[in-house]
Structure 1
C-alpha cells in the first residue's frame, strides 16, 4: 500500500511539473512568420531589407524568437495577416481602420510624419490640407493608412495607385495635383528618381506611430506582441534602437 501511495504521489508531482506555467518553456513559440512590404524604403524594400526589418529582427532575437519574413505588397500583407496566413504584418499605422482588425503591442516601431507633395511647376495653393482646392486629384497608395482625417477630406478626389514610383511619375506628368507620402520614404524615392528639384513638400497630412500588427487568427498573437514590446524596450535601454534609427534624415531639402 505504501509503495502504491508513493507511486501515486510521484505521478501527481510529474503532472504538476508538466502543467506548471513557469515550466512550460517548450510551449513558448520560438518562430514567427511576418509579411513585410516591398515598397517602403528605407524601412522595408523589395530585398527584405530596411530599418523595420532590423528593429524587428533584433527585438525578437533578444527574446529568443526567430523571424521568418515573406516580402509582398503592403495590400497583400494585410490580406495574409487578416486571414491568418502569417502571424503579423508591418508597417501599420494605428488608427480606427486597423485597431479592430489586428492586435497591437504598446511599443511602436517608430513615429513618422506624412505630407502632401507637389510638382513645383504646378504648386498647390494652400496653408493646410483643408485649404487644398476642391476636386484636386490627390494620389495615395492602395491599402496604406494616412490618418483618421483622410476620410473627412471629402472635397478632394483621392486616386489610389500601386507603388511610390507610379505615384511620383503621375505627379511629374501632371495627372495628379498632389500626392501624400511619408516624409522619410518620400526623401528616399525622390532622391533615387533624381527629381528633388522638381517635387517638393507642401502641407502636412498627419503624424503617427507605426507598428508590427499581429493577426487575430494567430494563437500566439498576444504573446508575440508582449515579446516584441520587451525586445524594443531592451533595444532602447542599451542605445541599440537609436543606433538603428540614427541613419534616418527626416527633412527634405
Structure 2
C-alpha cells in the first residue's frame, strides 16, 4: 500500500472516531447537582476550603467512574427542590422520604445513610422528648421545606398546624441556618431543634457552645433515612439509568471506600448503612 493511501485511510479512520466520540476526551456528560449546606455531609466550599462533604464525595466517586462530570449548585434546600422539580438540576443528593413528595422528582432506591436523630436544647433545660405532647408550649426551630414526616408524622403535623405558628420559627438562609438556630437557642429565642445527631455534634463543636447547649435523647421516633431525588423532567430511560448508577455505586462503596470518605471528615458512624 502506498504512503498516500495509508495516510488517506488513517485520516478517514480518525474522522470516524471523532464523529462517534470514541477516543475523544472532554466530552463527558454533565450531571447537574443541587445541594444545600448540611455539614459535614454536604458543604458549601469557601476560600481555602474546597471540601464538599461526605455525601457529595460519594456522588462524585460514583458518577465520575461512569464518565460523568458533576456541575454543582449550592442553594438552600427549598430552592434546590424547586430546581430539581423544574428540571434545572438533575439531582439533589439527599432528601427525606416525604409523605408530601410531589411527582416532580423520583427517589433513588439506595439510601445515602440512615441517621439517628436527637435534639439540641439549652444546657440548663431539663426537657426531654417524650412524644408530641412534650413539644406543646415549646418554641421549635425548623427551616423552609424541611420535612420530618419520615421520622415522625405527629412532629411534622405539629410544625405545619397553623394553630402552632406562633411557636414554630422557620429559619431561612443561604449557608448559616444552623449557626443561627443554635445561637437563637442560646439567646432563649427558641427552645429546641431536631436533626441528625451527627450534624448537631458537628455544629456544636464548630461553634464551641458546649457550655451553653446540650444534645439530648431520645430523638424522633424513627431514623432519618435520606435518598437522592432525580428530576421527573429527565427522560425516563436516562433517569432510570442515573438511578441504577447510584444504586449499584452506593452498594459497591460500602466498606473501605465508605470508611475512607467518612474519615476524611473525621466522622465515624456506628451504623453507616
Give the deviation of 1:121 after TM superposition: 2.4
Give the conservation status (yes or no) of the 8 Å contact 2:200–2:215: no
Alpha carbons of structure 1 residues 233 and 188: separation in structure 2 relative to 1, 3 Å: same
Instruction: Check if 1:91 corresponds to 2:105.
Output: no
Which of the residues 21, 24, 39 maps onto 1:41?
A: 39
Secondary structure (helix, strand or coil) at the match of 1:185 reads helix
Which of the residues 197, 214, 224 maps onto 2:230?
A: 214
Partner residue of 2:156?
151
Partner residue of 1:187?
201
Alpha carbons of structure 1 residues 113 and 92: separation in structure 2 relative to 1, 3 Å: same
- Post-superposition Cα deviations, 1:197-216, rounded to whole Å, max 9, x if no partner, equal 32112331241221221011
TM-score (norm 1): 0.78
- Post-superposition Cα deviations, 1:222-252, rounded to whole Å, max 9, x if no partner, equal 221111112222222x63123223442459x
Structure showing the higher strand proportion among its residues: 1
Partner residue of 2:60?
57
**1:102, 1:114 → 2: CA distance?**
25
Alpha carbons of structure 1 residues 45 and 65: separation in structure 2 relative to 1, 3 Å: same
- Post-superposition Cα deviations, 1:11-43, rounded to whole Å, max 9, x if no partner, equal xxxxxxxxxxxxxxxxxx832111021x21001
Gaps of 5+ in 1: 1-28
CA RMSD after TM alignment = 2.2
What is the total number of aligned residue pairs between the two structures?
Answer: 220
Instruction: Check if 1:227 corresponds to 2:225.
Output: no
Give the conservation status (yes or no) of the 8 Å contact 2:201–2:215: no
Instruction: Check if 1:105 corresponds to 2:141.
Output: no
Alpha carbons of structure 1 residues 72 and 170: separation in structure 2 relative to 1, 3 Å: same
Partner residue of 2:215?
201
1:107-126 superposed matches below 5 A: 107-124=110-127, 126=128
**1:174, 1:216 → 2: CA distance?**
42
Secondary structure (helix, strand or coil) at the match of 1:96 reads coil
Q: Which deviates more, 156-165 or 224-233?
A: 156-165
Secondary structure (helix, strand or coil) at the match of 1:224 reads helix
